[in-house]
Chains A and B, each alone.
Chain A
Amino acid sequence: SAVISQKPSRDICQRGTSLTIQCQVDSQVTMMFWYRQQPGQSLTLIATANQGSEATYESGFVIDKFPISRPNLTFSTLTVSNMSPEDSSIYLCSVLQGNSIEQFFGPGTRLTVL
Chain B
Amino acid sequence: KQEVTQIPAALSVPEGENLVLNCSFTDSAIYNLQWFRQDPGKGLTSLLLIQSSQREQTSGRLNASLDKSSGRSTLYIAASQPGDSATYLCAVSKAGSARQLTFGSGTQLTVLP
Chain A residues engaging chain B, CB cutoff 8 angstroms: 1, 6, 31, 33, 41-45, 48, 58, 90, 92, 94, 96, 101-108, 110
Q: Which of B41, B89, B98 contacts A110 (CB 8 A)?
A: B41
Query: In the complex, are the beta carbons of B93 and A101 less than 8 A apart?
Result: yes
With A103-B46, A105-B44 known, 10 other A-B pairs at CB within 8 A are: A42-B89, A42-B104, A43-B44, A92-B43, A96-B98, A101-B31, A102-B34, A102-B46, A105-B45, A107-B43
Known pairs A42-B103, A42-B104, A42-B105; A101 contacts B46 (CB<8 A):
no
B52 smallest CB distance to A (angstroms):
10
Task: State the majority secondary structure of interface residues on B.
Answer: strand
Task: List A contacts of B44 (CB < 8 A).
Answer: 43, 92, 94, 105
13 pairs from A and B in contact (CB 8 Å cutoff): A41-B105, A42-B104, A42-B106, A43-B44, A90-B41, A94-B44, A94-B101, A101-B31, A102-B46, A103-B98, A105-B45, A106-B43, A110-B41
A42 and B42 CA atoms in complex are apart in Å by: 13
Q: For window 83-107 of chain B, which residues contact chain A by CB distance below 8 Å?
A: 89, 91, 93, 98-101, 103-106
A42 and B104 CA atoms in complex are apart in Å by: 6
Contact with A along B47-73 (1 / 0, CB 8 A): 001010000000000000000000000
Query: In the complex, are the beta carbons of B42 and A107 less than 8 A apart?
Result: yes
B36 smallest CB distance to A (angstroms):
7
Query: In the complex, are the beta carbons of B43 and A105 less than 8 A apart?
Result: yes
A40 smallest CB distance to B (angstroms):
9
Task: List B contacts of A107 (CB < 8 A).
Answer: 42-43
Chain A residue nearest to B44 (CB atoms) is A105
Task: List A contacts of B49 (CB < 8 A).
Answer: 101-102
